[in-house]
A and B are shown apart, each in its own frame.
Chain A
Amino acid sequence: MIRIGGRVVAGPTRRIGPQPGEVIDRSRSLTFYWNGASRAAYDGDTISSALAAAGDRVLSRSFKYHRPRGILTATFHDPGCLVQVDDEPNVRASHRQVAAGMDVRALHSWPSLRFDVGAANQAVGPFLSAGFYYKTFIKPQRLWPAYERVLQRFAAGGRVSASSPHGDYDKRFAHPDVLVAGGGPAGMAAAIAAAEAGAEVMLVEEEHELGGHLRYGDEVALSRLQELRAAVAAHEQIEVLTNSAVTGRYDDNWVAVLQRSMPHVTERLVKARAKSVVVAVGLIERPYVFEGNDLPGVMLSSAVSRLVNLYAVRPGERAVVFTGNQSGEAAAAALERAGAEVAAVVDARRGGALLRARGRGGVTEVETGDGARVECDLLVTAAGWTAPTLLVNMTGVKPRYCDRAARFVPGDDLPSDVFATGGLVGDGDVDLLVEHGRATGLRAARRALETLDGHGPLTALPRLEPADHPALFRSRTHGFVDLSEDVSSKDLVSAAQEGYDSVELVKRYTTATMGPSQGKLETINTVAVLAESTGRTVAETGTTVWRPPHVPISLGALAGRNLEPVRYSPMQPWHEAVRARPIVAGQWIRPEHYGDPASEVRNVRENVGLIDVTPLGKLDLRGPDVPRLLNFLYVNKWSKLDIGSVRYGVMCGEDGVVADDGVTGHLGPDHYFMSTTSSGASAIYEWIENWLQTTFTDWSVHVTEMTSAFASINVAGPNSRELLRRLVDDVDLGPDAFKYMQVRQGTIAGVANCLMWRIGFTGELSYEVHVPAAFGLYVWEALMAAGADLGVGPFGLEAQRIMRLEKGHFIVGQDTDGLTQAFTAGLDWLVKLDKEDFAGRPELVWQSERSDELRLVGLQPTDPTVVPPEASQIVSGANEIEGRVTSSRFSPTLGRSICLGIVSADLAHAGTVVTVKQPDGTRVTARVMEEHAHFDPAGERLRG
């Protein structure tokens, strides 16, 4: 029912007869749900046009005062038209097209749109002035959480559900020559001209089809629209994305396009590196500030034209039109065509003024400047335009205020690869806009194709300037400046009086322009009201910084598909088959254990085990200067390393902090092979290249990353020699022929070009074999098969960690941290300060002269059954921190708990008993050991 002043004036439908430019398909009816009740619509309707056609006037309640709100702009930015659609919050009802069965619900409307308890807030409005919350709820402070919960109940917005599926999103890269943002007449013309000049063009339009304001224009506009659309369609070089928005133009024309029109994908983010960008985003009609300007039934002139011409909806029965431009006249004409009565036209250009609108739940009466009162259910305002300059401003160009046109314009000095055309630049008829668009498109194409002198001379750019417009911002009465945030012009005046009198401060204090439309409707009026209340001009006041994105973009679209890389070793199928427990180790996912780490340890100590150590960093080093490089990178000496030998080394950064460790072997003349930690692999490669390329540029060394080229297996345990002997024919594995810390190249299970080095992180006789990656799984399986009678079994990372702790080997990053220098890590035996230079040497020289440094020590809890959790603090007195436990395990070999820890210098003596505070608060004691190694400190087992 439509009522004016209590009289029923219309039936339940406001749908009118077919319109020449309508976008609805009357042959396809569908039904959706509005707050649980069914509503009819046509294919092509937006949610709000369908609701308007059904006579629904109130689409939401405002968030602070819970005032009723309806259609204002009939565009994406319509502030009162945010709804919940199924599980999707904050859907733009004036943009989203209706789909059959949609469950559409209003926001902020408990218990209902018609009867809203929050509306009581309106009565206390004077006490809820801008920033009121800063001035109250101060004491007692303990009650703030309670107040906060009340405030949160008023939070704007829809609902998300923990059970919502992620949905399908996608991304695409594009490399257009010319990207045109905006598919109105100027944008279409620019695209056509650019394509004619040979450019590949991407034309992006926010609405569901091309045309801009021509779509809801008169017959002339519609016929030009058909021509332009046909010309666009005729060019294969123009890719058109409708229902898509350019959300940002980032440095170097990196352009984000949100594409909503993909089938089977909720949204897609197109990332375009455009050679040139044409910004043709048009103008946004701005609201006028007066008392009652937020009532349902107050609409912008373009909203009226859209509803009538695109959706064949009569927006009201009896209208007052307040206008300062042609758009108001066009709306009045559209209303008459739609069968509505235009009761009054108040023309600001002839001195007409608008004072206030009255009504409850919608406009029922308008009071004009001369005091006349007119009954109506629709008040149309045409107060002027805002140029959405974000994309241009993202180049660093500041908007400039054009006084005579009463709007900000993009500003000059655009970068040479960014162009602006259309309404953003100035006002004109279709011919002028098309002409300007064509000339701009041609320039953009020539910039993109670098054919500045090709295709004949450039025609002059036609003059396109903003037209004069009365400065209509606020009436003599106060009204809402920001409908999304419920900020009134009175709030702005009072904020300015309180000293929040710059545009950024007033914005932050009142939250004006911070809602869903991000100032596209509100900024200019905010600036104007602030200017008025501070006695400055609009130009002096300036505008706030527009921030991307131009329209909100879903997290799903920004994320796209999850393409985080994961690395597996070639032996992964075997690990999965035996259900190894996986552990994430940086990019790698590898077996943590195969069921029982303690028994894996015992098997290695008693028989033989295999561990997949493929993630180890591996670098192939060749060239005559490799020894010099090694001498520089590592803290120890590398001058005398025979071919066939390997050596352990530690690298420090230039600050002397332990950076990485590993083993490097001398394979042949001018040929070395380096292993690094798994996590340090890529950083060490970069570190080495850095030195070679920037400092030691005359050294002849070539480095190749080999991490993924080899699968790596450590064969560890007393039976390892026997196991390997069964598969290796061409290398003498005898203890005297292949000694501890030696390397051999040979064939394993028929696979040639394998590296074998005899080293022992686990402390057992062991061989680390690197086999060409393609044969990794084969060799692993061959070892398993060949060693069945030797008790061979797999062991995982956890067993290795236990065994290395038994041996006292530290792990970089676990037993050291970002400040641990080499001597703190106990590397006195390794660091050779008598080398003339190496990375970090000066710091280590100075560290060696100090005696107060922290030390890494072996620790054994007094109670052998207590395993203090890693990171337990070592304390003295009440709570004095003296260090921490960095590694801690129960040793199956020793049958007791063992640790490494960092302690202050005065505790770092063998035999000292320290106090360890565990996370549960209990304190236990532990003894500082002579050595880091808890098991076989002499290393007899691995040398055997």
Chain B
Amino acid sequence: MGVARAGSDLRPAARRFIHLRGAASDGQRKTTTYSAFSLLRHGLTHEKWQRAWREHEVASAYDAVIVGAGVHGLATAYYLAANHNMRRVAVVDKGYVGGGGSGRNTAILRSNYLTPEGVRFYDRSMTLYSTLAADLNFNVMFAKRGHLTLAHNDGSLRTMRWRAEVNKLQGVESEVIAPEEVKRLVPFMDISSHTRYPILGALYHPPGGIIRHDAVNWGYARAADALGVHIHQGTEVLSIGVVDGKVTGVTTNRGEISSPIVVNCTAGWASLVSSLAGVSLPIITHPLQAAVTEPVRMFLGAVVVSGSLHVYVSQTDRGELVFGASTDPYPSYSMRGSLAFTEELASHVLELMPSIAKMRVLRQWAGLCDLTPDFSPIMGTTPVEGFLVDVGWGTYGFKAGPAAGEAMAELVATGKTPELISSFGLSRFGDGLLVGERGAAAVGH
């Protein structure tokens, strides 16, 4: 099956953030460590907390400019500084830190993908997420609640087993379980056989769970800032300089920046930013909507996904149910949200858990997803030298953030595409070598 072995030279986990204290030079700073003790001290003394990340003037040159201050851009910057000692790095964003998909997703983490390359990649991300709180000294609240993907027909049950088997071979915990076991994990689930979409089983992925997405963004921003990375919010890239097929820098609303490397980490806006460099992408932008209910007491432990019903749901520590669905049926850059989405979502959630009909939807919102033809990302080089992309993340970008950032940082620093992401290059479309996530990732989450 054309399976390449996982690269044996995977980077070790990013060095512990705390070890970087003290080396305050080259724009680095001594950072207050977050801990129960520091909370106590600030509580007693009313001492002000440091800014989580600083504001800077935009410099005229950087070694790398990363476009997009979401989890991908910030992680790339952080790992550039932490793993490769590249610190003259800027992250520019027309909005604010984590204001795009990184702050709009449903914060579900899992690695139980269908293809070996997908599984390996996302598993690396899960590994990084597992120690991220300590690495960044920021509680990102990763809760391994367990992740259930329901099967409502024999075909999807077969796909679940396929995923489980590929996962196990990659060392990822994943198993197909029976309806009774689903009921044990989610007592509110209706597993009777008379429903329109009876539950025949589920793919159970114990390490899957939820995380606080904003905390991940902020944690990376704070840690990158401490290492000297400049984070420029409210800084929009207006053009990208390309001379003789090589990137020369970017022009922003806050001035020109020269840089030999520009990395596009802009998700839903990926096509627009790439077109500034003259690079065309096989990407179409669709809104993905999400909604949250009023809080109730905890009743839903696991993350529940149903591909057939186009819904995924989890309960936050605050008690809210967070829902997502499939992407909107036509492409758009609108983030206004639609009624049809909430209607369909509600009818499908109640198909699964009919007894929560009285819970109320409090808020709905939308993010923009950059979908590729094979439901896999596009990472790596482009025909324009120095212009790199980390895009095409569709509905699964957040869970990939750390591994993508780590790999992109390695590519920027070494000029070599890491083995872990070699299947995901832009050239695969021209070569007809698509990645086979098309079956499972349509509404994977």
Interfacial residues, chain A to chain B (CB-CB below 8 A): 87-90, 124, 126-127, 129, 132-139, 141, 144-145, 148, 151-152, 155-167, 169, 248, 250-251, 254, 256, 266, 269, 271, 394, 396, 494, 497-500, 502, 504-505, 508-509, 511, 514, 516, 518, 547-549, 552-560, 562, 564, 566, 583-586, 655, 813-814, 817-819, 843, 846, 852, 854, 869-873, 875, 879-884, 904, 917, 919
Q: B293 an interface residue at 8 Å Cβ cutoff? A: yes
A89 touches B294 (CB 8 A): yes
Instruction: Evaluate whether A90 and B166 lie within 8 angstroms (CB atoms) in the complex, with A499-B51, A559-B350 already known.
Output: no
Chain B 31-72 interface 0/1 with A at a Cβ cutoff of 8 Å (1 = within): 000111011101110101111111100000000000000000
Other A-B pairs, 12, CB within 8 Å; known A547-B363, A558-B343 = A90-B295, A148-B143, A156-B318, A160-B359, A499-B51, A499-B53, A514-B363, A518-B363, A554-B358, A554-B359, A562-B350, A818-B439
Closest to A854 in B: B1
Closest to B176 in A: A919
Chain B 139-165 interface 0/1 with A at a Cβ cutoff of 8 Å (1 = within): 101111000000011110011011011
Q: B256 an interface residue at 8 Å Cβ cutoff? A: no
Closest to B2 in A: A904
Distance between B162 CB and nearest chain A CB, rounded to angstroms = 4
List of B residues within 8 angstroms of A556 by Cβ: 346, 350, 357-358
List of B residues within 8 angstroms of A138 by Cβ: 34-35, 133-134, 137-139
A871 touches B434 (CB 8 A): no
A869 touches B161 (CB 8 A): yes
A157 touches B297 (CB 8 A): yes
Distance between B399 CB and nearest chain A CB, rounded to angstroms = 18
Chain B 190-206 interface 0/1 with A at a Cβ cutoff of 8 Å (1 = within): 00000011100000000
**With A and B bound together, what is the CA distance between A556 and B346 in angstroms?**
7
Q: Enumerate 23 A-B pairs (CB-CB under 8 Å) in ascending A order.
A: A124-B43, A127-B39, A129-B43, A134-B212, A134-B218, A136-B35, A144-B143, A157-B297, A160-B297, A160-B355, A162-B188, A164-B355, A169-B357, A250-B338, A251-B336, A497-B49, A498-B52, A499-B54, A508-B103, A556-B346, A564-B196, A814-B158, A917-B165
**With A and B bound together, what is the CA distance between A843 and B116 in angstroms?**
24
Distance between A625 CB and nearest chain B CB, rounded to angstroms = 31
Closest to A166 in B: B354
**With A and B bound together, what is the CA distance between A717 and B298 in angstroms?**
58
List of A residues within 8 angstroms of B153 by Cβ: 583-586
Distance between B239 CB and nearest chain A CB, rounded to angstroms = 25
List of B residues within 8 angstroms of A870 by Cβ: 158, 161
List of A residues within 8 angstroms of B337 by Cβ: 248, 250, 547-548
Distance between A494 CB and nearest chain B CB, rounded to angstroms = 7
Which of B317, B361, B364 interacts with A148 by CB under 8 Å? B317
Distance between B243 CB and nearest chain A CB, rounded to angstroms = 35
B187 touches A152 (CB 8 A): no
Closest to B37 in A: A136
Interface residues in B113-136 (C-beta closer than 8 Å to A):
116, 130-131, 133-134
B432 touches A554 (CB 8 A): no
Q: B306 an interface residue at 8 Å Cβ cutoff? A: no
B438 touches A819 (CB 8 A): yes
B364 touches A548 (CB 8 A): yes
B141 touches A148 (CB 8 A): yes
**With A and B bound together, what is the CA distance between A338 and B72 in angstroms?**
62
Interface residues in B334-384 (C-beta closer than 8 Å to A):
334, 336-339, 342-343, 345-347, 349-351, 354-365, 374
B218 touches A166 (CB 8 A): no
A156, A558, A879 interface centre (most CB from chain B within 10 Å): A558
B294 touches A516 (CB 8 A): yes
**With A and B bound together, what is the CA distance between A256 and B337 in angstroms?**
13
List of B residues within 8 angstroms of A548 by Cβ: 337, 363-364
A518 touches B364 (CB 8 A): no
Interface residues in B402-445 (C-beta closer than 8 Å to A):
432, 434, 436, 438-439
List of A residues within 8 angstroms of B96 by Cβ: 502, 504-505
Instruction: Evaluate whether A160 and B356 lie within 8 angstroms (CB atoms) in the complex, with A504-B99, A505-B97, A560-B347 already known.
Output: yes
**With A and B bound together, what is the CA distance between A562 and B309 in angstroms?**
13
Instruction: Evaluate whether A559 and B166 lie within 8 angstroms (CB atoms) in the complex, with A87-B358, A138-B34 already known.
Output: no
Q: B214 an interface residue at 8 Å Cβ cutoff? A: yes
**With A and B bound together, what is the CA distance between A141 and B134 in angstroms?**
7
Which of A549, A564, A871, A875 interacts with B159 by CB under 8 Å? A871
List of B residues within 8 angstroms of A509 by Cβ: 214, 218
A497 touches B48 (CB 8 A): yes
**With A and B bound together, what is the CA distance between A229 and B144 in angstroms?**
57
**Nearest 6 CB-CB pairs, A to B?**
A155-B319, A818-B438, A558-B346, A556-B357, A157-B295, A552-B360
Distance between A920 CB and nearest chain B CB, rounded to angstroms = 10
List of A residues within 8 angstroms of B362 by Cβ: 516, 518, 549, 552
A250 touches B339 (CB 8 A): yes
Distance between A528 CB and nearest chain B CB, rounded to angstroms = 19
Closest to B438 in A: A818
A136, A394, A560 interface centre (most CB from chain B within 10 Å): A136
List of B residues within 8 angstroms of A873 by Cβ: 165-166, 169
Distance between B441 CB and nearest chain A CB, rounded to angstroms = 10
List of B residues within 8 angstroms of A547 by Cβ: 337, 363-365
**With A and B bound together, what is the CA distance between A514 and B319 in angstroms?**
13
Distance between A800 CB and nearest chain B CB, rounded to angstroms = 13
Distance between B69 CB and nearest chain A CB, rounded to angstroms = 11
**With A and B bound together, what is the CA distance between A555 and B347 in angstroms?**
7
List of B residues within 8 angstroms of A145 by Cβ: 143-144
A875 touches B39 (CB 8 A): no
A498 touches B51 (CB 8 A): yes
**With A and B bound together, what is the CA distance between A136 and B197 in angstroms?**
43
Interface residues in B164-198 (C-beta closer than 8 Å to A):
164-166, 169-170, 176, 187-188, 196-198
Distance between B42 CB and nearest chain A CB, rounded to angstroms = 8
**With A and B bound together, what is the CA distance between A271 and B356 in angstroms?**
22
Instruction: Evaluate whether A558 and B158 lie within 8 angstroms (CB atoms) in the complex, with A134-B218, A504-B99, A584-B197 already known.
Output: no
Which of B154, B176, B212, B218 interacts with A583 by CB under 8 Å? B154
Chain B 289-314 interface 0/1 with A at a Cβ cutoff of 8 Å (1 = within): 00001111111000000000000000
B139 touches A919 (CB 8 A): no
Closest to A519 in B: B363
B1 touches A166 (CB 8 A): no
Closest to B200 in A: A584
